[in-house]
Structure 1
Amino acid sequence: MNDRKIAFITSVNDKELYDESKFYIQQLNKPEGFQIEFMKIEDASSLANAYNIGMNSSDAKYKVFMHQDVFIVNKNFLYDILKVFKTSEAIGMIGVAGCKYIPESGIWWEADQTYGKVADSHNGVMQLLSFREVSGDYEEVAALDGLIMITQYDIPWREDVFSGWHFYDISQSLEFKKKGYKVVVPRQDNLWCIHDCGVIDLGYSFEEERIKLLREYAEELSYESTTN
């Protein structure tokens, strides 16, 4: 693995959105000696499938898996994620929002303890979604929201289970924890990301993938509910 390379991996079906997202990345302050790699995955069968393609095609130690409608506005983003990873080799994955415990529903934002913040337009209006503040350098969580997930280790995404576009993020968080790694939400002194997703119709596929999560991770989710 090349520890001086950061790969940005995105599943793309809207070129204009992706180009805008990429433009923001190109404006980031880049640590000296680091290489930035862009991986645009098109025609993937699922998000887990797209991310496996990108992960397996890059030798970058650090990988940023992100939606095409995410714009990174923190100019020091690259420095900030490297700083978090360097605090502990046990930190496997970073996100900007997540939950301390996964609720019985499997839907992270229904948890009692949620952390992080992001500017988001899921209700049709762009607004700041601010959960609990992270008091230290980071807060260890059970699961992250998938708008952006940053890793320093390669663990396969469960495309064998999740064939759509939902719950891959909860799954990957649990896969990292099964391997003994921490999943964390860092403190954001300044907002890191804008997620211009617009109103989302979750539909039947959301429920279908949710049931898959509850079945596949019944043991892990049972443990989470007992610790909540």
Structure 2
Amino acid sequence: MNDKKVAFITSVNDEELYEESKFYVEHLIIPEDSEIEVEFIKIKDFNSITSAYNEGIRRSDAKYKIFMHQDVFIVNKNFIQDILHIFNLDKNIGMIGMVGCKTIPVNGVWWEASDCLGKVADSHIGSMEIINFHEVKDIYEEVEAIDGLIMITQYDIPWREDIFQGWHFYDVSHSLEFKRNGYKVVVPNQQSIWCIHDCGRIELDFSYEDGRKKLLDEYAEDINTLKVT
């Protein structure tokens, strides 16, 4: 893999929204003398986010891959430098997210945990607000799962499209896949928010509960083992 390349991989069905998201990335600071190359991988016409992201892996040889929603705007100008710094601190860090939980609840819904960490600007309730979970005390803290708004990796692990054909719980699944492979999943310390997630009001349908059941069918033992340890 090319350790001088950072790929931004996005599943797109709204070109205007994607172009706005891409605009923010294009204005990030590239670390001086790093020889870092940024590439954009736009995935269209896929039935699930897992299949789209697997296609992104096939299309890019970048060591560092940022899987992000088309409605995410990165406002931390030093984002690239900051994520590379975290990865360079520990080769066992496999994935970084903006918000997550240290203990996945037994129902699989990460944000219902009492030990959520991180921060993000988000509009899922219909208006934009800053979501502040517990502060990350060091440069980063290890978590069990992160939210799928943006998932930053330095190793390629296949997304479980064999299980998740929709748009829910793929993020908890991928967090646990990294854990299964012996890697850490972390949330960084953010003095101010790194990302805006302008998703709009979220209405959950039957596919949400279907995804939750699939998560528990596959990972119940992982979740329970993590709680014991």
| Stretches of 4+ aligned residues off by more than 6 angstroms | none
SS in 1 for 2:80: helix
Q: Distance in 1 between matches of 2:39 and 2:48?
A: 22
Aligned partner of 1:56 among 55, 58, 62: 58
Given that residues 104 and 225 in structure 1 are in contact (C-alpha distance below 8 angstroms), is that contact kept between their aligned partners in structure 2?
no
| 1:77-126 alpha-carbon deviations (Å, 9 max, x no partner) | 00000000000000000000000010011000000100000000000110
Task: Give the count of matched residue pairs.
Answer: 227
Match of 1:80?
82
Match of 2:192?
190
Q: Which structure 2 residues correspond to residues 93-104 of structure 1 after superposition, within 5 A?
A: 93-104=95-106
- Cα offset, 1:190, TM superposition: 2.3
Match of 2:38?
36
Match of 1:161?
163
Q: Distance in 1 between matches of 2:208 and 2:226?
A: 21
| 1:110-155 alpha-carbon deviations (Å, 9 max, x no partner) | 0010000000000011010000000101010000000000000000
Q: Distance in 2 between matches of 1:85 and 1:189?
A: 19
- Cα offset, 1:57, TM superposition: 1.1
Q: What residue ranges of structure 2 are gaps of 5+ in the alignment?
A: none
Q: What fraction of aligned residue pairs are identical, expressed as a percent?
A: 63
Match of 1:202?
204
Given that residues 74 and 191 in structure 1 are in contact (C-alpha distance below 8 angstroms), is that contact kept between their aligned partners in structure 2?
yes
SS in 1 for 2:67: strand
1:221 aligns with 2:223: yes
Give TM-score, length-normalised by structure 2: 0.98
Given that residues 142 and 183 in structure 1 are in contact (C-alpha distance below 8 angstroms), is that contact kept between their aligned partners in structure 2?
yes
| 1:51-83 alpha-carbon deviations (Å, 9 max, x no partner) | 000011100000000000000000000000000
Q: CA RMSD in A?
A: 0.7
Given that residues 29 and 75 in structure 1 are in contact (C-alpha distance below 8 angstroms), is that contact kept between their aligned partners in structure 2?
yes
Q: What residue ranges of structure 1 are gaps of 5+ in the alignment?
A: none
Match of 2:115?
113
One-letter code aligned to 2:152: I
One-letter code aligned to 1:96: M
Q: Distance in 1 between matches of 2:14 and 2:147?
A: 21
Match of 1:146?
148
Greater CA drift, 29-38 or 102-111: 29-38
Q: Distance in 2 between matches of 1:225 and 1:76?
A: 35
One-letter code aligned to 1:71: F
SS in 2 for 1:18: helix
SS in 2 for 1:140: strand
| 1:198-218 alpha-carbon deviations (Å, 9 max, x no partner) | 001111100000000000112
One-letter code aligned to 1:45: N
Q: Distance in 1 between matches of 2:19 and 2:213?
A: 34
